[in-house]
Amino acid sequence: MSFITGALYAALVVYLGGWYVGQWQGNFSLLLFLLTLVTLAYWLAERYKFRPAREAAASALVAQDEARRAQLASQGIAQVDSNVSEARNKLLAQPWWLDWTAGLFPVICAVFLMRSFLFEPFKIPSGSMVPTLLVGDLILVNKFHYGIRLPVINKKIIPNHEPQRGDVMVFRYPVNPSLDYIKRVVGVPGDEIAYLNKKLTVNGKPIESTAMADFYDEDTMRYFMQYSENLSGVSHRLLIDKNRPPYIPQQYVEDFAFKENCRYSGEGVVCKVPAGHYFMMGDNRDNSQDSRFWGFVPDENIVGKAFVIWMNFGNLKRLGFFQ
């Protein structure tokens, strides 16, 4: 068993190493699920086979020692130098391969359940949601807000709230579902979304926006036009790059499902959101690859609702809830 356990750990190290250096893409949910199953198997084997066997061996050792002492006492020998306590403790001790598998099961299982059904941490990798979220922000995502989903396959089994315009949502990237993206919900099923000349309209109604002081982006060392937008009662900030044209270059537009629901022009794009799908946009409007480029997000791709920054090691003032 020690050889098998060592081989499993070696395979885990190789997998994580290849994932880290970019040799292949990993699925952390699947990995955590498999680790839970493997450590559960070891935990059950420890509880019902290995530990009872060690306890039986330790009991037999103590019984043999007591029988030997009784035999010597019958011969008038009362002083016996041997002490089986150390040997008994060695027999009862877990070998390393059980300590690093069965011993880790409660922790791994708790992490798996919490991450699958309650909250999942994410790190913001890009500037598409600036100024709401900055590169390096560590956020928490509510996994049950939009319904309880089975881990790994992401199938909804218990419905809850429906996504609303203005929500900041994490979802599986439709082009490559192994990647997680974060954007703001702009359109829900049945909406007609128009983003023309850098103005957002929902169902023919222009979305209210108010100019604010220019935003200085430390990563690009540039100033951007900043606005406060009220999207269905959700007030948030967004950025506009006045140097970017409003149109979407067709060479950057993916061949996505329901593409026929969208009309592209020199002014921008107009899309009708199909049933069971959502239209997503980044708050950094001219620096975001979003539904304008790769289409609608299906309900089955939803991961959860982002709601709080729990850490930013470069700026502790960033901590707190956001809209």
Reduced to 3 DSSP states, what percent helix, strand and coil does the chain have, rounded to the nearest 5? 35, 30, 35
Name the helix (H) or strand (E) containing 98: helix 96-99
User: Among residues 204, 185, 182, which one has the least CA distance to residue 193?
Assistant: 204
Rounded-to-integer distance, Cα 177 and Cα 156, Å: 16
| Amino acid letter, residue 295 | G
Q: Catalytic one among 116, 128, 288, 291? A: 128
The alpha carbon of 18 is separated from its chain's Cα centroid by a whole number of angstroms, namely 19
Q: Catalytic one among 116, 143, 183, 288? A: 183
Rounded-to-integer distance, Cα 31 and Cα 146, Å: 24
Rounded-to-integer distance, Cα 116 and Cα 142, Å: 10
Sheet holding 205-206, edge to edge: 205-206, 199-202, 192-196, 268-272, 262-265
Fill in the DSSP letter of residue 242. T
Rounded-to-integer distance, Cα 90 and Cα 166, Å: 61
Verify whether residue 128 is a known catalytic residue: yes
Give CA separation, 136 vs 24, 123, 177, 178, 182, in Å.
23, 6, 22, 21, 14
- Tell me which residues are annotated as active site: 128, 183
